[in-house]
Structure 1
């Protein structure tokens, strides 16, 4: 039986043949199986190679669909800003600054996230296939990158209950990019519109609540 590091090397090696195109969930499991005490952004960037755009978007967006401890959305959202911005600019290869590459999660946390995500990812990957290739032409892809950047900014902000909808939308975009599945990208667009509508509703409710409280307070003081 091969060890986790050899499986991971095969996943990214240019000469790995069919293994080079391992599914996202398989590479993620190989990362989680390594004995290292932590998994950094740089580790993930190296592991996914030429699929880094879709893979890192998925890696940092998908956990936000799940309930997470306070502050985790900011930790996971910061790298998303860099990835989405470069996708919008049409960069052929993903570059990340050193301070982002050095960000890491402890192995225990990474394994926990992997265990929670793997069943959903496995089911999703069975449904995905290359289709509607026009969605991945340079201009539509850059527009999608712009949408993901806006969603990543929303995800990064401390908005109550505002993390899950944009995270789901970015996850759909990322799956579409990874598997060149235009249908997943269309789901991402629908989810993006839904996220903005939900954000508008939440923002309106917060503003209305604060206004009502201030009016009530002003009435008491007056």
Structure 2
């Protein structure tokens, strides 16, 4: 399949960029740096979404840890108000184009629906200091995402994905939705962890 070149960096919707990279038969693998270059200044929110969104769905054990590690780095940049940047060792990491295409087929229907609803509004929600606070929240959620906690993937990943889309399109309403998702995720994961602790203490009590 021969695809036309992408518009200038940052001009194309994320769904178009992902589709283009996933179906570009001039390459066998797609590096994280390719997405960074294609999104330009919008790459921070885009990459956060790309790494968070797969964890909304059931994934094999260990995948959340692999995808959560870059989220730590990206969330830290958002918290500190830094421009999107990745060290060479991270930017050169790549995924087979066929694997990316399978992931894109799963994500694009949902992403395209979201893009029809996204628009710049409530800009105070996506400016410092609230944007920096969102970065801190995403950083903490990324830590939870990497832990082997039942139900510890879906809700934190959903909250990060909502915030990432808010950052990407400067949409404060979606950022607010991400805050609400983060609150729900914190409550549910805290409840699960507390239940696990209680179960462990009860088991110890039986053994003594």
What TM-score do you get using the length of structure 2 for normalisation?
0.94
* Aligned counterpart, 2:81: 90
Distance 1:164 1:95 in 2: 27
* Aligned counterpart, 1:3: 2
Distance 1:41 1:215 in 2: 49
* Aligned counterpart, 1:74: 65
* Aligned counterpart, 2:175: 185
Moved segments of 4+, more than 6 Å = none
- Structure 1 gap segments, 5+ residues each: 13-19
Question: What secondary structure, in the 3-state scheme, does the structure 1 residue paired with 2:129 have?
Answer: helix
- Of stretches 153-162 and 199-208 in structure 1, the one that deviates more from structure 2 is 153-162
Q: Work out whether residues 176 and 185 of structure 1, in 8 Å CA contact, stay in contact via their aligned partners in 2.
A: yes
Distance 2:28 2:140 in 1: 33
Q: Work out whether residues 126 and 175 of structure 2, in 8 Å CA contact, stay in contact via their aligned partners in 1.
A: no
1:173 aligns with 2:144: no
- Give the CA deviation at 1:11: 4.4
How do residues 107-118 of structure 1 correspond to structure 2 at under 5 angstroms?
107-118=97-108
- Structure 2 gap segments, 5+ residues each: none
Greater percentage in helix: 1
Q: How many residues end up aligned between the 2 structures? A: 207
Question: What secondary structure, in the 3-state scheme, does the structure 1 residue paired with 2:148 have?
Answer: coil
- Of stretches 113-122 and 31-40 in structure 1, the one that deviates more from structure 2 is 31-40
Distance 2:92 2:66 in 1: 12
Distance 1:82 1:100 in 2: 10
1:37 aligns with 2:28: yes
- Give the CA deviation at 1:146: 0.8
Distance 1:76 1:215 in 2: 37
* Aligned counterpart, 2:51: 60
Q: Work out whether residues 11 and 27 of structure 1, in 8 Å CA contact, stay in contact via their aligned partners in 2.
A: no
- Give the CA deviation at 1:79: 0.9
Q: Give 1:105's match in structure 2, choosing from 95, 100, 104.
A: 95
